[in-house]
Structure 1
Amino acid sequence: MKWWAGLAGAAVLGMAVYGAIGLTQGDPRSPFPFRQLRLVSENMAPTLRPGMRVMARRKPASELRRGDVAVFFVGDNFWVQRVVGLPGDRVEMRGGLVILNGTPVPQADRGKIEIDGRTSTIRSEQLPGATAAHRVLDEGATPGDELSAVVVPPGRLFLLGDNRDNSMDSRFPATAATMGGGMVAFDDVYGTIAPEDVSD
């Protein structure tokens, strides 16, 4: 068990199937240097799954890099998604493949997995500048597989869920109608989750 797993006052990080809607205890914007969170849905599968405990650590958005798992605020809730685009990056998607600054991000098949009765392909993906590859899920063709090129503006991040076909993230506008995430402002970033800060 991780050293922080027994900390009192854990927050609950909710990620409804298509989004990352969360519930927290207390004020999520308070200046605590870390927050213990418990995952409740599949937005970041297969990397993060329901029931996992994670430790979110404060980190300025300007220090995040592609491949980092970012924790950020939407209203009074925490969301979690992976950093794909930094300010100035040009991001598009074709057939579910991320095209970053005109170059396809490499993917490699890693087998199949079944989640909630749905069969998905696991793929590894290596973002430029990331320290390691991460895994993503692909259920097949969905509307989110196609995205016209967008440029990430200053002070914003482009984020994606690893469960690409079940994540409302920066591909979708942040409106009440879409429940998308939109591009995330630096001011709304709490910090990041490191691989060593994840526990079953």
Structure 2
Amino acid sequence: MRKKVLDVAEEAFQARGYHASSMGDLMATAGVTGGALHHHFPTKKALALAVIEERVAAAVEETWIQPVRMAPSAREGVRSVFAAVAAELERQGFVRGCPLNNLAHELSLADPDFRIALAGIFSAWRQVIADKISVDQQAGRELGTDPQRFAALAVASYSGAMSMAKTAQDAGVLRDCLMALEQGVMSSKTGTRRRNRILHRAL
């Protein structure tokens, strides 16, 4: 029963939003009584926190964290996620948006507990990319890349692209943003190498 309620709440929060989803509607859709619902989730806030901590965090883990960890490099991991998500969105024919983004936009200022839970997921997402860059650097790659800044840019690019894709109902913007991200990073690295050569000659 707990799983069924979480399934219904997750779907409702993504489709309609937290504030537009009443507990009565959730009970009716899940086919549970008020007593059964409140046994597992005493308040709507408790239900939302469970969705964030158990479902949204799991989605980011599956979509981003594990693929980046398993990728040959950070850059290849980021590229593969963008491509896989774009392909899946095109296959399904509509864009609902990033589950984390959707709730972050609605709830971050609504309650500090929501903000902290959502920020924790963003932090873990960024950190896995930064850690992968550090591993790449140990292997002699990405030596001109700041791990934390690259991670922040990758997450921000994806989050912004998903918001734009949701509004336009066009997954192609993910590929556009990936291309811009890669070109921007490469340009930055080229500039860093040029500055380093100039500095070396000056010394």
User: Into which bin does the TM-score normalised by the smaller protein fall?
Assistant: under 0.3
Which one scores higher on RCO, CA 8 angstroms, separation ≥ 6?
Answer: 1
Identify the structure with the greater strand proportion: 1
Identify the structure with the greater helix proportion: 2
- TM-score norm. by structure 1 comes to 0.24
Q: Which has the larger Rg?
A: 2
- TM-score norm. by structure 2 comes to 0.24
